[in-house]
Amino acid sequence: MIRIGILILLFFFRLFNPKKFSASRSVEGNSGHFEKGEAVWWGYKFFYKQIEEGESGKGIPEFFARHTMNFEVPAGFVPETSAVISSGGDIMPTPHFNRNTAARFWEETEDFFFNADLVCANLEAPVADKEISSIAKNVLSPPAMNNTPEAFDLCWRGGKGITCYSTANNHALDMGEEGLLQTLDFLDQKRVIHAGTSRSVEEQDNFPVVDIKGIRVAILSYTFSLNRSKPPEGREYLVNHLRLNLPGCDITQIKKQIEFARKEKKADLVAACLHWSLEFESFPIENVMNTGHRLIEAGIDLILGNHSHTLQSAECYSCPAPEGEIKRKGLILYAQGDLVSWHNPANSRLTALTRITVRKGTLNGAPLALISNVEFKPLYSYLVFDRKERCSDFRLLDLASLAEQVEKGSPAVPLSPKQRKEVLRLRKLQQRVLPAAP
């Protein structure tokens, strides 16, 4: 009854002000700092309709429609070694993801995702010794979420899986300081790379630098929000927290880590896993794009963005350079969508995996490491429920292939009429949001 009441209320909000409820807005989206009316806006997106139009007057969808992902290496570059980084989105706690339902979860994605030298994703909730929690049912308070060791183990198949986790996100402190520390211990026991949360100042400064085939890649991780939580006074090092969605966000802390990564840790490339952008929206807002550009200019090579629970656009950003010098290019994945989750809003079933080829060599005799190729694989989160709303099958399906099957009237998996329409609509949305994908 409460949900129905919320839907009716939101319907009338939109009815009397349709323009205000049709496009992205320049808000922070931080539940710990919601402005007046922002909770209603979030509720509209979650309960009623996700946003598929960019900020009014900014031309953001038009920018991405004509944008070219050009990572051709400069003339004269002599490659010496190359490696592949693959990346996916948020891993959310959901009871639908278990050994009984997920036996075929990775079937259409494992070669693309797991056959890489570094496999990255965002661990959206702690893995603490407490009961699992679920997704929010109202707009008044964010859920406190917790993941399971079973979900972690299901992110491996045939001895391969996710090898690098970002842990800085708005749910990092959902299980308190104890849950955060338990999560770090768990990841260390599993011998995977992680960045974004720390036990001490020393550990915060000692972010990982991974050697993949002779290319040293630094992994940084930051979140724009901690919901309504905050670290205990004096222990701010627990989570890397910067309000990245705000205009002109102070990025001094990241600049210091970039410099340390380059000079002291001898990193060839710097990747930043960023929890930012706005939930349930298909395009980044201008504030987020500006921050992404500033970070690339500051020395980041690769931004792996998450948080929106929808697929957002990607950008090849060329830094300004003096005349005659080679422009440095950085890749920004504004939001990759949900890798493992179940949200009622249909756009959250659209996600994508990315494979990034990086090369190291020389240009005019000077050492140089760069991104040389980017590939995308759009996916559809496919779940089967019985009449009692119990999930029996959970998979990630190749969206392009599935949409083609639906158009021919012969999908390889059982789809309801509603799902068939959803697949075709999401395929069109993906082509608009991420036109560089096949």
Give domain status of residue 79, yes or no. yes
Q: Is residue 324 part of a domain?
A: yes
Q: Note down the domain range covering 173.
A: 63-380
The residue among 278, 412, 245 whose CA lies nearest residue 347 is 278
- Under the banding of pLDDT at 50, 70 and 90, the label for residue 195 is very high
Beta-sheet pairing, 302-306 with 269-275: parallel
Q: How does residue 22 score in pLDDT terms, banded at 50, 70 and 90?
A: confident
Is residue 221 included in any domain, yes or no? yes
What is the DSSP pairing of strand 164-166 with strand 193-195? parallel
What is the overall mean pLDDT for the chain?
Answer: 92
Give the separation between CA 422 and CA 400, rounded to whole angstroms: 13
Q: Is residue 158 part of a domain?
A: yes
Banded pLDDT at 2 (limits 50, 70, 90): very low
Q: Kindly report, residue by residue over 257-281, the tens digit of the pLDDT.
A: 999 999 999 999 999 999 999 999 9
Tell me if 337 is assigned to some domain: yes
Reading phi first (left if > 0) and then psi (alpha if -120 to 50, else beta), residue 11 is in alpha
For residue range 284-337, what is the model confidence (pLDDT) as tens digits?
999 999 999 999 999 999 999 999 999 999 999 999 876 667 789 999 999 999
CA–CA distance, 292 with 52 (Å, rounded to integer):
21
Of the ranges 133-137, 222-226, 283-287, 300-304, which one carries the lowest mean pLDDT score?
A: 133-137
pLDDT in the model for residue 437 = 94
The answer to the question of residue 436 being in a domain is no
Give the pLDDT confidence of 95-116 residue by residue, as tens digits: 999 999 999 999 999 999 999 9
User: Is residue 142 over pLDDT 80?
Assistant: no
**Residue 40: band (very low, low, confident or very high) from pLDDT cuts 50, 70, 90:** confident
Residues 6+ apart with CB under 8 A from 202: none
Q: With 50 as the cut, is the pLDDT of residue 1 above it?
A: no
- Give Cα 98 distance to the centre of its chain: 22
Question: How many C-beta atoms lie closer than 10 Å to residue 15's C-beta?
Answer: 9
Domains in the chain: how many in total?
1
Cβ atoms within 10 A of the Cβ of 336, count? 28
Query: How far apart, in Å, are the Cα atoms of 215 and each of 166, 296, 354?
Result: 20, 19, 19
CATH number at residue 375: 3.60.21
| 407 found inside a domain | no
**In a domain? residue 289:** yes
In this model, does residue 7 exceed pLDDT 60? no
Rg of the chain in Å (alpha carbons)? 21
| Among candidate residues 279, 406, 427, the one with its CA nearest the CA of residue 437 | 427
Identify the pLDDT of residue 388.
Answer: 85
**What is the pLDDT at residue 189?**
97
Q: What percent of the chain has pLDDT over 70?
A: 92
43-78 pLDDT, tens per residue?
Answer: 889 888 999 999 999 999 999 999 999 999 999 999
Name the percent of the chain lying above pLDDT 90: 84
